[in-house]
Structure 1
Amino acid sequence: MPADPIDQALFPPFDDPAGFDRIRADLGAFLPAIRAVCERHGLAASGLAAFERGTNVVVSNDAGQIIKLFPPFLRHQFEAERLALGRVHGNVAVATPEILREGELDGWPYLVMSRLPGRTLEEVWPALGGVERAEALARIGEIMTAAHALPTGGLESLDLGWDAFVERQIAGCEGRHRRMRLPERLVAQIPAYLASARPLLPTSVIPVLLTGEYTPENLLVTRTGGAWRVTGMIDFADACLGPAEYDLLGPCLFLAAGSAELQRAFLVACGIRIADLTPALSRKLMALALLHRYSNLGYQVRIEGWESQASSLSALEQLIWPFPVR
């Protein structure tokens, strides 16, 4: 849809991505643009509410719709979400948003999507017992496996270019983790650790669709038969093509969090044999966690006190992925 002539005042000024992030959840700042989208497509402009978390401007209305505005410097996320949602919606056994409208306002692409019911898994996870947690992780593994089996034709623009991507990530790995304030004793070990793990990393892969969003903030659950069940998945702005192992990290770090039983429930549901839950797999996953484009272990490792427990990257590897398991 071609962009309409729009007054620049629809969007608030900001100097850089950090400046945008500071105002991103301010509904008042983006209200003119949201109302313009609603008027353009005949959407309800009542009951508007902004979501505090996320990367882009996300607003709901009381008609069960989500309006998502992407700043021009995040246009690639708009393309990723549009393409990935178009591929997964209706093709995996979990609810995903339906794209209802798309367009652009003054260089800002946007999507209008259906809103899914449920609460985030992040909200309910602390109250879940061990059995419910294992069932949730197994369910996530099943969903992930189905997504990885989808055809990737037409999604070539999302390809990470894995081999070159890995080289870039290795080159910048120390600097990134120093900026993320990983303890310096661990940062200093990164070159040697990655050298030891290098033969284990996937190479020349046949890429699959990676949503990048198997994290508790982007998985929705509903209560069914007295238990919480994973029923929805949202936010596909980080979708890409790459090796299947790259998608394993979110559930392993955020949810399984050092539990051998939960790691096993998840990874077996992903098609990994119990016999393959070995120290070599631990090292491969730890290396991928270090090399992830959004790696921030201080936020992602959900093991209380891990900084004081892990004297080395090898110790951290075993703390998160205590393989072998029986």
Structure 2
Amino acid sequence: MTTALPSSPSYQLACDIIDNEPLAFWLPLLVNIQNQYRLGEGEWSRVADGANALFEFEQGYIVKIVPPNWLHQGEKEIAADELFKQSKSDFPLNRPKIIAFADHNGWLYILMSKLPGTCLASLWPELTMDNKMLIIRQLGAYMRSLRALANHDSKVLTVRWHKYVQSLKENCLQRHQRNNLSSELYAQVLPFVEQHLADLPDAASMFVHMDLHPGNLMVEHKQGNWHLTGVLDFGDALFCHGPWLEILTPICFMAQGDSELYKTLLNSYGLIDGVDMNQLQNAMMALALVREASNINFVMQQVPSCIGMRNWEQIAQQLFPAINLG
């Protein structure tokens, strides 16, 4: 007996299966994995909601199950793991180690190690400003360390940059409509993007995680503060031209409109020396509008002053506040 997963589900069906099927539905596949890889005795539990089905085995393992509809996320996770294994550099934060992966009726499962610690998402809103600053500096240093990952012609992680950006522009409206963006702001998306997105300076190709938010970061409590210890989910990773997609997510979901946190993140990252970020407010806003899978309503909720604003220029000033990097 095994879990009956459809080989070619519609987008909506894949979402429904992941969001609504109980643990019992997945257990036949999970038990098969448990036996095949000799994980020992133990119980399975469902991990928090997400784009993929995620399960924890009490012996210290995680299984991620990715549907055919966005299989590239699982393939990127595997490709990024291989890059880290090939690299001779040291990285300041831990990551899950992939143990095995395989196809199951067109779906991809990935068996990996479980990282110790606590998910930062459960703590971030209540942390002191000093502790947030500490974590932001650690995150900036980690982002900078990813430059050491060299591209060995990975087809999964490499994009034709300008073609990729064009596809982001072409696909964003359908997503904003699906996410019920207000009609007033929706009508302004493409004109705003066409006017400002090209203002982001081009740069050399570099590896980016691209989804560094509290839900993908693990922390441990040491010497009176929470410290970053691990990074999860490389399903959005790629080699792209410039740091913009890397800094976008933590700006939105960790700086959350606070100019000091924003400034600290940029200074600790250190890859934008000589760039006046105040001149790029609208360009970063345009990037947030086209970024793959971005729910701009949820982004605006991170900075409540954005709610009710009627144009993207005003919203950009809240999400990417004016700072002095000197």
> TM-score normalized by structure 2?
0.89
Give 1:134's aligned residue. 133
Residue 82 and residue 166 in structure 1: after superposition, are their counterparts in 2 closer, same or farther (change >3 A)? same
Looking at structure 2, the residues matched to 270 and 93 of structure 1 have their Cα atoms a distance apart, in angstroms, of 13
Confirm whether residue 161 of structure 1 aligns to residue 160 of structure 2. Answer: yes
Work out which of the residue numbers 63, 72, 75 in structure 1 matches 2:68: 72
Give 1:85's aligned residue. 81
Residue 283 and residue 77 in structure 1: after superposition, are their counterparts in 2 closer, same or farther (change >3 A)? same
The DSSP-based 3-state class of the residue aligned with 1:24 is helix
The DSSP-based 3-state class of the residue aligned with 1:157 is coil
Residue 63 and residue 232 in structure 1: after superposition, are their counterparts in 2 closer, same or farther (change >3 A)? same
Give 1:4's aligned residue. none
Residue identity in the other structure for 1:61: F
Residue 21 and residue 265 in structure 1: after superposition, are their counterparts in 2 closer, same or farther (change >3 A)? same
Looking at structure 2, the residues matched to 52 and 58 of structure 1 have their Cα atoms a distance apart, in angstroms, of 7
Give 2:227's aligned residue. 229
Looking at structure 1, the residues matched to 160 and 319 of structure 2 have their Cα atoms a distance apart, in angstroms, of 28
Confirm whether residue 298 of structure 1 aligns to residue 297 of structure 2. Answer: yes
Give 1:3's aligned residue. none
- What does the per-residue CA deviation read over 1:144-177, in whole Å, with 9 as the maximum and x for residues that have no partner? 1111331111423322322012222223433432
The aligned runs of 1:13-52 (5 Å cut-off) are 13=6, 15-24=9-18, 26-52=22-48
Residue identity in the other structure for 1:213: D
CA contact (8 A) 1:27 1:49 kept: yes
Identity within the alignment, %: 25
Structure 1: give runs of 5+ residues left out of the alignment. 1-6
CA contact (8 A) 2:196 2:286 kept: yes
Larger mean Cα displacement after TM superposition, 221-230 or 12-21: 12-21
Looking at structure 2, the residues matched to 220 and 317 of structure 1 have their Cα atoms a distance apart, in angstroms, of 29
Give 1:286's aligned residue. 285
- What does the per-residue CA deviation read over 1:172-219, in whole Å, with 9 as the maximum and x for residues that have no partner? 43343233222222222223322331441344x532222222011010
CA contact (8 A) 1:12 1:30 kept: no
CA contact (8 A) 2:76 2:234 kept: yes
Give 2:124's aligned residue. 125
Looking at structure 2, the residues matched to 105 and 273 of structure 1 have their Cα atoms a distance apart, in angstroms, of 43
Looking at structure 2, the residues matched to 147 and 101 of structure 1 have their Cα atoms a distance apart, in angstroms, of 24
> TM-score normalized by structure 1?
0.89
Work out which of the residue numbers 2, 11, 25 in structure 1 matches 2:4: 11
Give 1:254's aligned residue. 253
Give the superposed CA RMSD. Answer: 2.2
Residue 197 and residue 103 in structure 1: after superposition, are their counterparts in 2 closer, same or farther (change >3 A)? same
* Poorly superposed stretches of 4+, deviation over 6 Å: none
Looking at structure 1, the residues matched to 161 and 276 of structure 2 have their Cα atoms a distance apart, in angstroms, of 24
